[in-house]
Amino acid sequence: MSGPARTHVKTWVLLVLMVTFGPLGDIFLGKGMRQLGGSPELRPAQLVHFFVRAFESPLVWLGIASLLAFFIAYLLVLSFADYSYVQPASSFAYAVVALLGYFVLGEVVTPIRWLGILVISLGVFLVSRTPPRTTERA
């Protein structure tokens, strides 16, 4: 496989990992934090107590583990691809979050929101047609 083709494959494998683990992490965190119920007072003692309770939730830790997997894939892809390419390309994760919110959490997803997901996907497609790297190698 040629250099640019290999870079494209590598980029897409890492992007797939990002759009899988990122949304999964958000869903786990969302479910875990909603179980705490309500927002804390913005005072140091209450905030500390709130975050201590948050870190007692297994769902929050599952979310953190997923986001860590996302972060490693993200770091690796940023070692060779442009930030301004990776960021929009990984935005497909927003569609995945809506899908998971709908199917897993039972959240209401209106037709306008689905249209938004379609527009996001179009934007992602457009960004993916541009070269991943526009700067010289370090």
Cβ 45 to another protein shortest distance, Å: 15
Nearest partner of 38 among 25, 23, 53, 28, judged by Cα: 53
| 16 vs 126 by CB, closer to another protein | 126
Using CB under 8 A as the binding rule, the residues of this chain from 4 to 23 that contact another protein are 23
Q: Does 59 bind another protein (CB under 8 A)?
A: no
Q: How far apart are CA 49 and CA 13, in angstroms?
A: 40
3-state DSSP percent of the chain in helix, strand and coil, to 5: 75, 0, 25
Nearest partner of 128 among 3, 1, 15, judged by Cα: 15
Q: Does 24 bind another protein (CB under 8 A)?
A: no
Q: Which residues contact 21 (CB under 8 A, 6 or more apart)?
A: 66, 67, 69, 70, 73
Nearest partner of 93 among 16, 9, 30, 10, judged by Cα: 16
Using CB under 8 A as the binding rule, the residues of this chain from 89 to 128 that contact another protein are 91, 94, 97-98, 101-102, 105, 107, 109-127
Q: Residues in the chain, how many?
A: 138
| 16 vs 134 by CB, closer to another protein | 134
Which of residues 38, 44, 45, 52 is near another protein by CB under 8 A?
38
Q: Which residues bind another protein (CB under 8 A)?
A: 23, 26-27, 29-30, 33-34, 36-40, 42, 50-51, 54, 60, 67, 72, 74-76, 78-80, 82-85, 87-88, 91, 94, 97-98, 101-102, 105, 107, 109-127, 129-130, 134-135, 137-138
